[in-house]
Structure 1
Amino acid sequence: MNRRRFLGIGAAVVGAGAVGAVAVPSAARLLAEGRPGRLLPSQLDLPAPFQVDLPVPAVLKPVRTDATTDYYEITQQLARLEILPGLRTEAWTYGGTFPGPTVVARSGRQVAVHHRNELPVPSVVHLHGGHTPAASDGYPIDLVLPVGSNASAMAEAGGMPGMEHHAEASPGSTVVGDRTYTYPGTQRAATLWYHDHRMGYTGPGVWRGLAGFHLLHDDEEAALPLPRGERDIPLMLADRSFAEDGSFRYPAADADGPGVTTDYMNGVLGDVILVNGAPWPRLTVDRARYRLRFLNASNARLYRLELDPQPSGGDALVQIGGDGGLLESPIGHDALEVAPAERFDVVVDFARYEPGTSVRLVNRFGSDRAAEVMRFDVSTRTVSDDSAVPDRLSTIERLDPGAAVTTRTFSFKRSRSDGWTINNQPYQPGRALARPALGTTEIWRFFTDLHHPVHLHLDHFQVLSRNGKDPGPYDAGWKDTVDLRPAEAVEVLVRFTDYRGTYMLHCHNLEHEDMAMMADFVVE
């Protein structure tokens, strides 16, 4: 497939063109590789682990408030950050930091975030897990062009380099310089995150730094005796690779187009594990309970997180919440399997360790340096801890399968001719694969050939079954991303509420997403 056809096919099929421009690895080879992704090695000597302190992203302050709404401003900008000790890395950032600043919101209060794009590339912002009107959901061609761009001239010339396909794309909305995203806050407390969602370029956008936390609180959560304050810590896990000069290394298919080179079509894995933007950090903790909000913000890497050593008696990681907020009751785990975009809120009681113990957080799915994540150093000082994990956390409405008005099936597969597809179709903006009615409940059945974390915009869902059996150990509560292993089928129940419009269903392996594994659905 030549570049001319790549830019014009189906008005805007980014991924299909990128896949068609290179040879597609065989299914046998991808299956033989097991878990998704291919390692992109760094080109410099990596620092020793556990040498830097864990940073915690700053909380963004509103620029003003009124009776209903908190107003925030974020400038998307280039920044040179010291990620690896002694080196500077140019990053694409929200507000000059990676991760971006944390937005802390309250359920029932509206949040308006004004984004200004001072990057050299267009951007789109998606609040992942947000229950959001379509106009603020971050549809992948709702572009914010860089400040000073001439939208009319770019359209006449075919757009910015690599963005020619947007000139005729529909139903996207393009603005120059600024866009305000409005989030009503009509959902329960949860660990959300925001990230770039530009069609064909989400992978490099997130890889270069465009990600941040958005934490939502409510009265139900506040009434519980869970750890809080400095013992409530968001942890963004993200693997990256670096060039010899300290810059981010990423295997783009070409300098100005979407997609990756052939060897990395199944996802890009880095050999440096960053936690909140720091390589293999350490954190001194009291002998007390901590709430750890794990977010997998990696492009493709899976994690199986364990504490080493495990505390006596097991259940080291007590899960209290997931993508969509609190569970009904806590679930004890010895390990957590976390796919890209999933969140797990857990409580760890470091009082179960002797003073002075060093506890490593390890990734059993990783090898070599990617097997280490961070280290907790248990303090020798005596502290008080009045926190607890109640046996009952929340009441969750159980969706009724009998109320479902229809069952829809979505096949996530690699096509030899079209790359990564849903229902054998590469992504095309404006082509809806489903049109659910507002207020109805449906069963959506996802099945896969290889490994795909499936993400649904607008509404959280409940996992109904996995391969015709009960949900898995990590499927509890409200979810917005569900991890599907090769040849799996998962059924979920979803009720479409509040907002009509066009939304997205896609794989959250970002290289799969960029290379066409997305679909529109329209709530009518």
Structure 2
Amino acid sequence: MTRKLEKFVDQLPAINTIKPLEVKNKRAFYEIKMEEFTQKLHRDLEPTRLWGYNRQFPGPMFDVNKGEPIDVKWMNNLPGKHLLPLDESIIHHEPEVRTVTHLHGSETRSDSDGYPEAWFTKDFKQVGPFFKREIYHYPNRQRAATLWYHDHAMGITRLNVYAGLVGMYIIRDQEERRLKLPTGDYEIPLIIADRSFNEDGSLFYPSQPNNPSRNLPNPSIVPFFLGDTILVNGKVWPYMEVEPKKYRFRVLNASNTRGYQLYLDSGQSFYQIGTDGGLLPRTVKLDKLVMEPAERADLIIDFSKYEGKSIILKNDLGSNPDPNDETFDVMQFRVTKTLTKEDTSKIPKRLSTIPSLKTGMVAGYRNLKLIESNDPLGRPMPLLNNKKWEDPVTEKPRLGTTEIWSFINTMPFTHPIHIHLIQFQILDRRPFDLDFYNKTGQIRYTGPARPPEPNERGLKDTVAAPAGEVTRVIVRFGPYSGQYVWHCHILEHEDHDMMRPFIVRE
């Protein structure tokens, strides 16, 4: 595991914006190559062997406008052997190295969604059973939002993402531009992820669960993984020099398992203006920001009163943290740059109008249980509605209809649940007696339903479903029909077997 590394010695890297190879008939075309390379992730670490989009970790950022479609050819130029421990007991004897990219949060036709079984190998020599096209089409018809792209290959998403296959994707529109938010050099992506390293600087990922039984294969999938260092934009505990003015940060939790409770050690607040699906109705002032894997938060931080000071973005580890745990720090802001010009950006109170999905007719209600289970080897295998990936499809909403999905979490920890294709609205969460449920199989509520937090009242594609609670979301299925997936975004769970297909019927 990682030796102790000094914090705040490397500058936060800028993420470059990718340019199209060509533009024809107002449609831009891009090529992205997935390749193995080395990158220095900390001053005192040897260069780390990684997999990345265009030889970068994180990958290049897409910056596109609403209504301007793009085409992307994703190319697998990776070696034939995986650089991380591969559990062959769960990969269904597929090729060892296979990839498929999912644009997370995008309203995209199913053949461009990054379906887990639409994987392909180097030069498309082998393809999965759902592979349909080499070039993906992204319409970008949805409202402005911070999306992200990452690998989604069946059974090895946790390894491919951990190896470095992640990147950010921003859609912009005129509504957002009219708000006079911080822009240009004052709008910064922050892609947060945890990793562990071996002494030689290579990535560490466990090949066995803690205290494995003798009948497990080696390597064997682990039920979760928390790295012991925090990276932002591909650097371990970086610092950023800022001017004493307002900055906009587009924050993504790209960790496999780890959730964060972010706060600033200066005691100042965040101003959250957006979430997964774009702008919130109103700005929300927060002292602490909770982010599960795959969630995004659009924040404004005002450094104007902190000239000459250093401020640490912290991670609250709870009341009794392990004294050896270094992950309470994320990065450092140094308010040491000279103010170049007057700050004319705003923190608006009102941001956007989001019509409620509750005003329409609800065509269906689904109770979907998050259940503890074990695989034939005795390993933890959480399931959705007690179904495995290969079981027949049970969720078949009709195109254009609205449904309410209730996630009933019968397990003792939070799961971030992601639904492809759509952006939903959170209705409420209601606690129930988990011990009573485990004894009787019946739901007995222990309190009233509570509405979503103020910073959850926009459009979402990933929702935190806490332990012992029923989390309800309202979903309008569209704009496309086809086969998609919904799953837990703890990647170790998604790979084994907490993921299910659903079909949007015509």
Q: Is 1:274 matched with 2:268?
A: no
Equivalent of 2:386, from 424, 449, 452?
424
1:107-186 pair list within 5 angstroms: 107-120=66-79, 121-147=97-123, 149=125, 170=129, 172-173=130-131, 179-186=134-141
Aligned match for 1:98, one of 57, 63, 67: 57
Counterpart of 1:462 in structure 2 is 425
| CA deviation string 1:32-68 (max 9, x = no partner) | xxxxxxxxxx2x4232000000002110000011233
> Which residue of structure 1 aligns with residue 414 of structure 2?
451
What per-residue deviation string (whole Å, max 9, x for no partner) do you get for residues 93-126 of structure 1? 1000100000111110101111111012210100
Q: Is the 8 A contact 1:75 1:95 kept in 2?
A: yes
Secondary structure of the corresponding residue to residue 135 of structure 1: helix
- Aligned 8 A contact 1:259 1:514 in 2: no
Q: 1:233 and 1:442 mapped to 2: Cα distance?
A: 36
Work out which of the residue numbers 297, 304, 310 in structure 1 matches 2:267.
310
Q: Give the deviation of 1:308 after TM superposition.
A: 0.6
Q: Is the 8 A contact 2:241 2:337 kept in 1?
A: no
* Code of the aligned partner of 2:252: L
**Which residue number in structure 2 is paired with residue 45 of structure 1?**
3
SS at match of 1:206: helix
Task: Work out the CA distance in 2 between the residues paired with 1:498 and 1:302.
Answer: 31
Query: Does residue 283 of the first structure (1) align with residue 236 of the second (2)?
Result: no
CA contact (8 A) 1:144 1:174 kept: no
Partner of 1:481: 462
- Alpha-carbon separation, structure 2, partners of 1:252 and 1:104: 37
Give me the whole-angstrom Cα distance separating, in 2, the residues matched to 1:444 and 1:222.
Answer: 34
8 A Cα contact 2:272 2:455, kept in partner: no
Aligned to 1:78: 36
* Identity score, percent: 41
Q: State whether residues 371 and 386 of structure 2, in contact with CA within 8 Å, keep that contact through their aligned partners in structure 1.
A: yes
Whole-Å Cα distance in 2 between the matches of residues 174 and 440 of structure 1? Answer: 27
Cα contact 1:194–1:211 (8 A) shared by 2: yes
Within 2, Cα distance between the matches of 1:124 and 1:414? Answer: 28
| Distance in 2 (alpha carbons) for counterparts of 1:493 and 1:380 | 45
Structure 1 moving runs of 4+ over 3 Å: 148-151, 257-262
Q: Which runs of 5+ in 1 are unaligned?
A: 1-41, 152-165
Q: Give matches, 1:189-208, under 5 Å.
A: 189-208=144-163
1:79–1:92 contact (8 Å) kept in structure 2: yes
**Alignment partners' CA distance in 2, 1:436 and 1:206:** 30
Output one character per residue of 1:245-293: Cα deviation in whole Å (capped at 9) or x when no partner.
Answer: 1111112459xx999747x31x100011000000000001111110011
Moved more, 376-385 or 436-445: 376-385
Q: Does 1:357 align with 2:316?
A: no
Q: Contact 1:259 / 1:511 at 8 angstroms: preserved in 2?
A: no
Q: How many angstroms apart in 1 are the aligned matches of 2:331 and 2:394?
A: 42
* Other-structure match for 1:322: 275
TM-score (norm 2): 0.86
Q: Per-residue deviation at 1:389?
A: 1.4
Q: Which residue of 2 aligns with 1:341?
A: 294
Per the alignment, in what secondary structure is the counterpart of residue 144 of structure 1? coil
Query: Which of 200, 211, 215 is equivalent to 2:170?
Result: 215
Q: State how far apart, in whole Å, the 2-side matches of 1:260 and 1:445 are.
A: 35
Cα drift, residue 433 of structure 1: 2.3
Please name the residue that 1:11 is paired with. Answer: none
Contact 1:296 1:342 in 2 (8 A): yes
Q: Would the alpha carbon gap of residues 390 and 260 (structure 1) be closer, same or farther in structure 2, given more than 3 Å must change?
A: farther
By how many angstroms is 1:402 displaced?
Answer: 5.5
Q: 1:57 to 1:380 in 2, by over 3 A?
A: closer
Q: Is structure 2 residue 357 aligned with structure 1 residue 399?
A: yes
* Larger relative contact order (Cα-Cα within 8 Å, sequence gap ≥ 6): 1
Q: Would the alpha carbon gap of residues 110 and 258 (structure 1) be closer, same or farther in structure 2, given more than 3 Å must change? A: farther
Structure 1 length normalisation: TM-score?
0.83
Q: 1:385 to 1:332 in 2, by over 3 A?
A: same
| SS of match in other structure, 2:468 | coil
Distance, in Å, in 2 between the alignment partners of 1:476 and 1:295 is: 18
Structure 2 distance, partners of 1:520, 1:148, is: 24
The separation in 1 between residues aligned to 2:218 and 2:405, in whole angstroms, is 28
Equivalent residues of 1:90, 1:248 under 8 A apart: yes
How many equivalent pairs are there? 451
> Is this contact kept in 2: 1:236–1:296, CA < 8 A?
yes
The structure with the greater share of residues assigned to helix is 1
Q: Distance in 2 between matches of 1:433 and 1:505?
A: 12
- Whether the 8 Å CA contact 1:131–1:187 is kept in 2: the answer is yes
Q: Which digits, 9 at most, give the CA deviation of each residue in 1:330-350, with x for residues without a partner? A: 000001000000000010010
Paired residue type of 1:101: P
| Aligned AA (1:461) | F
**Is there any run of 5+ residues in structure 2 with no aligned partner, and where?**
80-96, 210-215, 431-448
Tell me the equivalent position of 2:343. 385
Corresponding residue SS for 1:301: coil
Change (3 A) 1:222 1:150: closer
Q: Deviations over 1:122-171 (max 9, x none)?
A: 101000001100000000010121127466xxxxxxxxxxxxxx6xxx5x
Structure 2 counterpart of 1:250, one-letter code: Y
1:433 is the counterpart of 2:394 = yes
Q: Secondary structure at 1:511's aligned position in 2?
A: helix
| C-alpha displacement of 1:489 | 1.1
Please name the residue that 1:294 is paired with.
251
**Secondary structure of residue in 1 paired with 2:326:** helix
* Matched residue type, 2:57: F
CA contact (8 A) 1:259 1:515 kept: no
Matches of 2:132 and 2:261 in 1, distance apart?
40
